[in-house]
Amino acid sequence: MAIQGDITRLEVDAVVNAANSALAGGGGVDGAIHRAAGQAQLAAACAELGGCAPGDAKATPGFGLSARWIIHTVGPVWRGGDRGEADVLASCYRRSLEVADELAARSVAFPAISTGVYGFPKDLAAQAAVGTLRAATTEVDRVVLVAFDAETLGLYSRLLAG
């Protein structure tokens, strides 16, 4: 399922955060999640995790969010597409589902990972997201792709219909 909206307001077990490798909070989705969850509490929980490598995922409590957990994943910076960026992005989605399974989360909301300041082309990112999530083996019952804009929602909707 794909929607356009604010990932911080969704009623799901876990939201995925498009984080930086320091898990320090930043702009875009990352900044919005940190603000909505509670900056100080989330920053302290993230500091205990010791960072996160691109393609990996780690969880914290959701604090002030409706979601019980936040799954932080670090997407690739787009460098032209010939440096394994698509593989790292696919790993973000797979690892996030693996962490969700470890948490026994049954519903997970994903933002468009790496399409903001990291510059991953939206169409390629949407293909990676939908393809990876469709191929994944998981106990998660409901996955929501949350688009920030109408363009991304359109990409998700076309791919999910196909």
Show the domains of the chain with their CATH numbers. Answer: 2-161 (3.40.220.10)
pLDDT at 51: 97
Which strand (E) or helix (H) includes residue 70? strand 69-74
Given the residues 30, 87, 123, 149, the one annotated as active site: 30
Which residues of the chain have a pLDDT value below 70? none
Query: Phi and psi at residue 140, in whole multiples of 5°?
Result: -65, 130
pLDDT at 27: 87
pLDDT at 72: 98
User: pTM score > 0.95 for this model?
Assistant: yes
- The answer to whether 30 is a known catalytic residue is yes
